[in-house]
Amino acid sequence: MLKIKIDKESNTPLYLQLYRKLKEKIVDELSADTKLPPIRKLSDMLGINPATVVKAYDMLAQDNLIYKKVGSGSFVAPAAVSAGFKEDKNDSMLNHGQIKLDKSINFASATPSTDLFPVDDFKYAINHVLDRDQGEAFTYQKSQGFLPLRKYIQDYLKSKSIYNNLKEIQIVSGAQQAIDIIAKILLDYGDKVVVEKATYFGALQAFASRKAEIKSIEIKRDGLDLDELEDYLKKNKIKLFFTMQNFQNPTGVNWSREKQQHLLELAEKYNFFIVEDDLLSDLYYTENAPSILKQLDKNERVIYIKSFSKVFMPGLRLALIVLPQKLLPEMLETKYATDISSAGLTQRAFDYYLREGFFEKHISLKRNLFKKRFEVMSEEIDKKLPEEIESFIKPEGGLYFWLKLPQGKDSSKLYEQAAEKGVVFSPGYLFTASSAKSEYFRLSFAAVDEKEIKKGMDILSEVVRDYLGSSDEDDFSPLL
């Protein structure tokens, strides 16, 4: 029985007190998969409104500390009690694929290491803008973005066969803000959203914050199972479908051109928007660049997001949205309410950086560097991991591999054992709407060099063999 005390005289809201108390219990005392008290039972026990318990449970679920089973209740997420997830900063960072543990080989982060950032070139761009614009560089920009940058981006998109009106281009502070704003514009309580199974956790958080109903559809090696999607569409009205068409996070899948065309037909037939998050299409390791869904969009069904900062310098927080004209008024209103406008100096400096050709040079260097890391990790996976470990697909670009343990195994438990040996990766549950245990895990090579990849795979292969030789039964004790 949980022993929790709530101070009804405190100025701290009851739901927040309950959230903090439960979080403390989960981190320090409870075992993985422990069932939490039913909402009504806990509210009666504490003498509070059931809605207070619901709100606390929702916050725990959004923080990935619990998962919910329809008809069964709420349970402690397997990885929430492990050593690698115990500290708040590690928990939140790993949820975004950005954890960096001391002395660990980091296969978890999809963010490039800082030594790869083009500091000198961007410093030159900033200094040029400051000399040119003086104090104007620090003024507010229009909410839609710095006009010269938007004009250059329009030409940049044309070079990728994406044609649009200048008014349709919105500058935002990173892809996460783009997803969040789109969710605010399109989603109300109870609206239905479809995502790929699995997908980017930040998108799941944005949709959950709008209290949307999230449906995950199986992803195949050439894109979504569109038969399953249409079966769902026949019975359900959805507002949007969120997708990463190229080097999908976390699977690495590229959608086929045929499936892209079919998806657009479904969007028109069933009247929903497609949110395309184009994060990594520049990091292709074959001769030709992959197809972007927005290139094929003739009926304004695709809301296109392109992040410039993720593989460039993540702290810049800079991305663009191309959206249908009918959504522009709400976009401008919501962007203004969020942060008025994205940082003016950053926009001006990046505009100059683009025009001088620095960005294309940097992406070309990154593509060559990551291709070498990709080849090394691919070879190490084939050579060192047991045959029981399946690769979902051999990607043609991107920053990661999506691997599967034998049926019944839990990648969170493998994570715990690997972290003890100095290797971290991303357990599969991080990419699911349910946060339930997963046999899948993601290995990223963004933050490790070739030497670290080989060393890390030596360690990981040994940990995997030990884990596969052990039993998962009764293995629910937290690592403290």
Output the pLDDT for position 44.
Answer: 86
Q: Which residue has the higher pLDDT, 368 or 33?
A: 368
Q: Which residue has the higher pLDDT, 22 or 13?
A: 22
Give 74 or 401, the one with higher predicted confidence.
401
pLDDT digits (tens, 9 = 90+) for 241-274: 999 999 999 999 999 999 999 999 999 999 999 9
Predicted local distance difference test score (pLDDT) of residue 150: 98
CATH superfamily of 83-110+362-468: Aspartate Aminotransferase, domain 1 (3.90.1150.10)
On the question of pLDDT at 42 being above 60, the answer is yes
Distance of CA 9 to the CA centre of its chain: 39
Amino acid at 168: E
Q: What's the pLDDT at 165?
A: 94
Q: What is the pLDDT of residue 5?
A: 86
Local structure of residue 314 (DSSP, 8 states): G
Q: Higher model confidence: residue 415 or residue 16?
A: 415
Q: Say what the pLDDT of residue 32 is.
A: 80
Query: Higher-confidence residue: 153 or 316?
Result: 153
Specify the pLDDT at position 103: 65
Mean pLDDT computed over 5-9? 83
- What pLDDT score does 96 carry? 44
**Cα–Cα distances in Å, from 305 out to 54, 246, 279, 293, 309?**
33, 13, 8, 11, 12
- Alpha carbon distance 313, 326 (integer Å): 32
Architecture of domain 119-356: 3-Layer(aba) Sandwich (3.40)
Considering the segment(s) 14-76 as one domain, its CATH architecture is Orthogonal Bundle (1.10)
Which residue would you say has higher pLDDT here, 25 or 227?
227
168-224 pLDDT, tens digit each: 999 999 999 999 999 999 999 999 999 999 999 889 989 988 989 999 999 999 999
Strands (E), 47-168: 66-69, 73-76, 105-106
Q: Which residues lie below 8 Å from residue 148, measured CB to CB, with a gap of 6+?
A: 351
For residue 82, what pLDDT is reported?
47
Residue 474: the pLDDT is 41
pLDDT of residue 81: 54
> What's the pLDDT tens digit per position in 228-249?
999 999 999 999 999 999 999 9
Extents of the domains making up the chain: 14-76, 83-110+362-468, 119-356
At residue 79, the pLDDT reads 58
What share of the chain has pLDDT > 90, as a percent? 69
Q: Looking at residue 296, what is its pLDDT?
A: 98
Question: For the chain, what is the radius of gyration of the CA atoms?
Answer: 23
Neighbour tally for 335: CB within 10 Å = 26
Q: What is the pLDDT of residue 92?
A: 45
